[in-house]
Chains A and B, each alone.
Chain A
């Protein structure tokens, strides 16, 4: 897992729930490419076409609230998004993201501090986010040891396969 992640910021608001991230009618799908094609479709149709290849979602409070559907993480990860920074995360979504090796960084009050399209650099170990455009730093929360261990393996599947 990369400790430093770079990407363009795509901004979303508060309470983005799993129905908006990945609508219920697509939950039967299992092919990763198909799942990726519906990323954020419930709130921003065609979002997948806005991605440049190095992308970071930045969102407000309670990102990923609602259902336990792991598809909500799969769709974001398979769409190529490198990390999510949010003011807070819902519990099940957070666990799912860690399990699948998608870095999820909590950073209070970040939404008001940057703009859509800003270039960000995240240092996962330090929990720091650098805005290349405004030259500002934002301090995010670090990860507890056991979560960092899972992330460093790239998710829980690798953690299991490689042995603890």
Chain B
């Protein structure tokens, strides 16, 4: 069996599981964000009174951090009451950050666990060897009731990535390239394991980017086998690794499909409107004027991303006529960026900083775009209306590329700029 199958088998109390089989699994942690008051409504509609285990429930206020409307403020208040009434252990308030950053930072994520959340990008936690998957509000409510959820055991595909990243190219470019090749249905209902020499060299932040966007290929979950880097990161976050059982891949395990990518010659990538898999080399697309650059979200708001933007813009100014917003993925990331001097330098360059959270990724607040505007962003989706008007254009890029576009005011290949040479 593969580690993913072992995780599901253990949680379903079975000796072994097979792809396609339906299993009923114990959930180790369920996270609900502030988009879904429906979870609580569904819980009560199903005659729920007490959640099965208040220590295994997490609420995160990240999409409306802070609340931009009366209704969102009301929704959060209802959730606060529920957390209090149910004695739920974990509530991350509006000052903390995006769920997929604050949970690992709090030491809540570990290899071998089943982590379910009301958010599609829960696949991010595959970077820690966890089975992380997104569900809707009513599925989450059934977990609150029973502590279990049914899953169809996925087929597993392997994506092996080798080669060394060139200057000006980041993990986001790798995953965009893979998305462009496999398409947005390339792994529907399947799990993706990322492996290879490149993965070994990537930081944890970068590995999270790959797993995060696996869902855009249609995947149920993503996986990177934990190594020393993972363990070091988790221990720093307070996880007691010695108590954790890390499943290994059995010798002779056969993947459903295997892909190999060599990224030695990979150039900066861009996903054009209005589809995440409309990916090409930046040099091949029209250098349109950019109205807004957005750096943030669970895909591109980490310290490594802010550092990349800092290095591009240090001592320089954002182009007049182009707005550039940075929303750190968590207040811990924000503090680290402040201590390193990135924030001061970036503010002097003309950056707009806003409260840690999901921000404008979903078009709710903190940088919404209007008709005919072009936004270049480090987030994860560019469907029509994603960041505001359905007649606005959203391009997905890496943080280095985003920063370069802020500098020039146009869609620009970062390698054209001197600092890269």
Mark each residue of chain A from 85 to 107: 1 if its CB lies under 8 Å from any CB of chain B, else 0.
00010111001100110000000
Query: In whole Å, how far is A88's beta carbon from the nearest beta carbon of chain B?
Result: 7
Please determine whether B136 and A20 come into contact, CB atoms closer than 8 angstroms: no
A80: Cβ under 8 A from any B Cβ: no
Q: Is the CB of B189 within 8 A of A91?
A: yes
Known A25-B363, A91-B218, A99-B138; contact A65-B184, beta-carbon cutoff 8 A: yes
CB–CB A96/B75 < 8 A:
no
Interface mask (A2-42 → B, CB under 8 Å = 1, otherwise 0): 00000000000001010110011101111000000000001
Please report the C-alpha to C-alpha distance between residue A64 and residue B41 in the assembled complex, in whole angstroms.
23
A24, A43, A73, A95 — which one has the most chain B CB atoms within 10 A of its CB?
A24
A52 at the interface (CB under 8 A from B): no
The answer to whether A161 touches B46, judged by C-beta atoms less than 8 angstroms apart, is: yes
> Given A25-B364, A68-B118, A156-B142, A161 and B38 touching (CB < 8 A)?
no
Q: With the chains together, A99 CA to B72 CA distance in Å?
A: 25
B42 touches A68 (CB 8 A): no
Chain B positions within 8 Å of A88 at CB level: 185, 188
Most buried by B among A17, A90, A100: A17
Q: Do residues A91 and B188 form an inter-chain contact, with CB atoms below 8 A?
A: yes
Q: How far is the CA of A95 from the CA of B364 in the complex (A)?
A: 25
Any chain A CB within 8 A of the CB of B49?
A: no
| A66 touching B383 in the complex, CB below 8 Å, given contacts A30-B41, A157-B46 | yes
Judged by DSSP, the binding face of B is loop
Q: How far is the CA of A61 from the CA of B71 in the complex (A)?
A: 34
List residues of chain A with CB within 8 A of the CB of B119: 68
Q: By the criterion CB–CB under 8 Å, are B36 and A70 in contact?
A: yes
Is A19 a contact of B381 with CB atoms below 8 Å? Answer: yes
Q: Is the CB of A15 within 8 A of B275?
A: yes
A96, B136: Cβ atoms under 8 Å?
yes
The answer to whether B184 touches A62 (Cβ under 8 A) is yes
Given A43, A62, A96, A156, which contacts B218 in the complex, CB threshold below 8 Å?
A62
Q: Determine whether A69 belongs to the interface, using a CB cutoff of 8 Å to chain B.
A: yes
Between A and B, 6 residue pairs with Cβ closer than 8 Å are: A23-B363, A24-B362, A25-B363, A27-B364, A73-B136, A92-B136
Docked-complex contact B185 and A157, CB < 8 angstroms = no
The minimal Cβ–Cβ distance linking A73 to chain B, given in whole angstroms, is 7
Which residues of B from 115 to 142 have beta carbons under 8 Å from A? Answer: 118-120, 134-139, 142
Give the docked Cα–Cα distance between A128 and B42 (Å): 32
Hey, which bits of chain A sit against chain B, CB under 8 A?
A: 15, 17, 19-20, 23-25, 27-30, 42-43, 61-62, 65-71, 73-74, 88, 90-92, 95-96, 99-100, 144, 146, 155-157, 160-161
C-alpha spacing A67/B142, complex, angstroms:
19
**Do A62 and B185 form a contact, CB below 8 Å, given A19-B381, A70-B138?**
yes
For the complex formed, measure the closest distance between the CB of A17 and the CB atoms of chain B, giving whole angstroms.
4
Residues of A within 8 A of B223 (CB): none
Q: B390 CB to closest chain A CB, in angstroms?
A: 6
Closest to A45 in B: B390
A157 and B218 within 8 A (CB): no
Chain B residues in 8 Å Cβ range of A15:
184, 275, 383
Whole-angstrom CA separation of A160 from B143 in the bound complex: 12
A99–B45 Cα distance when bound, in Å, is 13
Complexed CA–CA distance, A90 and B217 (Å): 10
Q: Given A20-B385, A62-B184, 11 other A-B contacts at CB below 8 A?
A: A15-B275, A19-B386, A20-B383, A23-B385, A28-B75, A29-B71, A62-B185, A65-B184, A91-B189, A95-B135, A160-B46
What is the minimal beta-carbon distance from A63 to any residue of chain B, in angstroms? Answer: 11
- Chain B residues closer than 8 Å to A144, beta-carbon distance: 22
B42 cross-chain contacts in A, Cβ below 8 A: 157
Task: Give complex CA distance A66, B380 in Å.
Answer: 10
**C-alpha gap A19/B137 in the complex (Å):** 17
Given A42-B390, A99-B136, A160-B47, CB of A69 within 8 Å of CB of B35: yes
Given known contacts A30-B75, A156-B142, A157-B42, A95 and B136 CB-to-CB distance under 8 angstroms: yes
For A24, the chain B residues whose CB sits under 8 A away are 362-364, 385-386
List A contacts of B45 (CB < 8 A): 157, 161
Q: Is A70 a contact partner of B38 (Cβ separation < 8 A)?
A: yes
B384 adjacent to A70 (CB under 8 Å): no
Complex contact A28–B71 (CB within 8 A): yes
The chain A residue sitting closest to B117, CB to CB, is A68
Q: What distance in Å separates the Cβ of B371 from its nearest Cβ neighbour in chain A?
A: 13
Give complex CA distance A69, B45 in Å.
18
